Amino acid sequence: MQEPVLSMRGVCKAFPGVLALNEVDFDLLPREVHVLLGENGAGKSTLMKILSGSYQMDQGEIRLQGRPVSISGPRQAQSLGVRTIYQELNLIPHLSAAENIFLGNEPLRALGVLDQGRIVSDSRRLLRELGATFSPRTRVASLSIAEQQMVEVAKALSEKARILIMDEPTSALSDSEIAQLFSTVRRLQKKGTSVIYISHRLEELFEIGDRVTVLRDGRRIETRPVSQARIADLVRVMTDREIGDHFPRQKREPGEEVLRVEGLRLGKQLRCIDFSLRRGEVLGLAGLVGSGRTALARALFGAEPSAGGRVWMRGRPLRLRSPAQAIRQGIALLPEDRKSQGLVLGMSIQDNIALPNLDALSWLGVVQGKGVWALARRFIQDLRIKTPGPAQKAIFLSGGNQQKVALAKWLARDAEVLIFDEPTRGIDVGAKVEIYQLINRLAARGAAIVMISSELPEILGMSDRILVMHEGRISGEFAAGEATQQMLLSAAIGEERAECRRGRREGDAEER
């Protein structure tokens, strides 16, 4: 066997109430892509944060190229050639993409003057290599999550990395962007970089991985070549239990119409959208990143006051000018970007869940502490949130467990229309099934659900009806069971106007 680039031995790390890593061994070979798998809270990010100097291990040894090293902080890790793209993006929103890419590593001209021209031209080249279409001068705040992700990757590329850690890089990317990312990873590999790759999308393993290591409850369970791995076995090793049907869709008979949308428009993002939604229905909304799905969700939630068009709820015209109004009307949105919009990180799990549900938890105007606690306990169990208890602050949870808390906030609500934007992003394979079951229960109770997702198997597996968006329009509508991945994809790239069971509206036609 080749000498490993990196070898970690007996790594232990404890947090109050949690043994995050327990005697973990991990090796990385030259030019390999080593995939790290495990449920939410298994310890993947913690192991990587130790390698990249953000956390100190309690016990253990790290060798780079056979030499023992002690990694005391992020700067030192960088000087050793370890680069990380974190699960949570770490960009500075008010700087441009180019400035972010070269932050802390700026090329200087004589006399120490910043070489702005080079920053922009080098950034343009790096971004182009990744297939990005936006200008390097764009402010990061106005980029989509997928585009911000590309900026992060470009930043790592600009600094010559020996070991590149990618912690869920694809969770916010669409299929074509993932393909681009993978070709970049292969390019890096050829140049001699080794990659540690974390993802909850198990299929990716076979496309990009050479070896795979599974962590469970802070322990390393096994390491094997990808050529000898099967998904079903890996899932069993990860979860230590049998996961039944991955998409437990129930047979449903949607009821009367709850929501009707006509001619909804918002600049270039939404152009004359119409559709309706029925009680007890799960409507899947597919499309590429940037196709208008999130804009549609935000407009329905009153978060885009300048949107035009008409919306009826139970036959009554709705004015959607603010989220508060939408919530009063019984519309709830689980936003795509949970980090900034979905959770108060400094608050406990139970208070986060209680926050939008205070009306139901209060009696004579007083919030019932016991009810708050019980509600949180229920979701901790149902969604397998890994935590010492409901009083734990959200900031101390693993990325996937934070997602679960954000989801619980809205699952606990009695909204009539629930919009979920990427509900299972970053969620492990076992907990996904629990979330699908909760969505089923909500639908069975009569809620109408819009589920936006970039994972086509999830859209196909869970929806009663599917709409596909392309450049701000609905480019396809399919009933459950009649759509295939291929059909959704061609509608998503606007290849052909997929068969629309509803006739085209006249206003729609003339606008085109």
Three-state SS for 205? helix
Show contacts with ligand ATP in window 419-438 (CB under 6 A): 428
> Distance of CA 360 to CAs 354, 363, 379, 415, Å?
9, 8, 16, 12
* Minimum distance of ligand ATP from residue 203's CB (angstroms): 17
Q: Is 4 in the site for Mg ion (CB under 5 A)?
A: no
- Applying CB under 6 A, which of residues 249, 279, 386, 465 lies at the interface with ligand ATP? 386
Instruction: Output 55 or 478, the one with its CB closest to ligand ATP.
Output: 55
Q: Decide if residue 472 touches ligand ATP (CB under 6 A).
A: no
Stretch that binds Mg ion, among 75-83, 376-384, 392-400, 474-482 (CB under 5 A): 392-400
Tokens representing 180?
Answer: 């681009």
Please state the closest distance from residue 242 (CB atom) to ligand ATP, in A.
Answer: 21
3-state secondary structure 93-136: CCCEHHHHHCCCCCCECHHHCECHHHHHHHHHHHHHHCCCCCCC
Residue 189 engages ligand ATP in binding (rule: CB under 6 A): no
Whose CA is closest to 383, among 362, 363, 366, 397?
397
Binds ligand ATP (CB under 6 A): choice among 20, 24, 313, 394: 20
Q: Contacts with Mg ion: how many residues (CB under 5 A)?
A: 3
Q: Does residue 398 interact with ligand ATP by CB under 6 A? A: yes
Decide: helix, strand or coil at residue 362.
Answer: strand
Among 34-42, 135-143, 262-270, 452-460, the segment contacting ligand ATP (CB under 6 A):
34-42
Query: By CB under 5 A, is residue 45 in contact with Mg ion?
Result: yes
Tally Cβ neighbours within 10 Å of residue 179: 13
C-beta closer to ligand ATP: residue 54 or 183 = 54
**For Mg ion, the closer CB: 386 or 470:** 386
Residue 123 binds Mg ion (CB under 5 A): no
396 touches ligand ATP by CB under 6 A: yes
Q: How far apart are CA 259 and CA 314, in angstroms?
A: 6
Specify the residue, 335 or 399, whose C-beta has the smaller distance to Mg ion: 399
Window contacting ligand ATP (CB under 6 A); options: 40-48, 241-249, 310-318, 371-379: 40-48
User: Does residue 399 bind Mg ion (CB under 5 A)?
Assistant: yes
Half-sphere exposure of 286 (CA within 13 A, CB side): 30
Q: What are phi and psi of 110, to 5 degrees?
A: -50, 150
Q: Which stretch binds ligand ATP (CB under 6 A): 12-20, 110-118, 258-266, 279-287?
A: 12-20
Joined tokens for residue 207: 């496309």
Is residue 210 a contact partner of residue 186, using CB atoms and an 8 Å limit?
no
Q: Single out the residue of 420, 505, 512 nearest to residue 470, CA to CA.
A: 512
Task: Please report how close the Cβ of residue 167 comes to Mg ion at its closest, in angstroms.
Answer: 6
User: Which range touches ligand ATP (CB under 6 A), out of 254-262, 313-321, 391-399, 495-503?
Assistant: 391-399
From 296, 246, 275, select the one nearest 462 (Cα to Cα). 246
Do the Cβ atoms of 71 and 77 come closer than 8 Å? Answer: yes
Residues 6+ apart with CB under 8 A from 303: 322, 323, 326, 333
46 is an interface residue for ligand ATP by CB under 6 A: yes
**Shortest distance (Å) from residue 367 CB to ligand ATP:** 26
Residue 229 binds: one of Mg ion, ligand ATP, none (C-beta under 5 to 8 A by kind): none
How far CA 13 is from CA of 105, 179, 373, in Å, comes to: 31, 35, 29
Residue 386 contact among Mg ion, ligand ATP, none, beta carbon within 5 to 8 Å by kind: ligand ATP
Q: Find out whether 182 and 174 touch, Cβ atoms under 8 Å.
A: no
Among residues 33, 34, 43, 199, which is the contact residue for ligand ATP, using CB under 6 A?
Answer: 43
User: Would you tell me which residues interact with ligand ATP (CB under 6 A)?
Assistant: 15, 18, 20, 38, 40-46, 87, 386, 396-401, 428
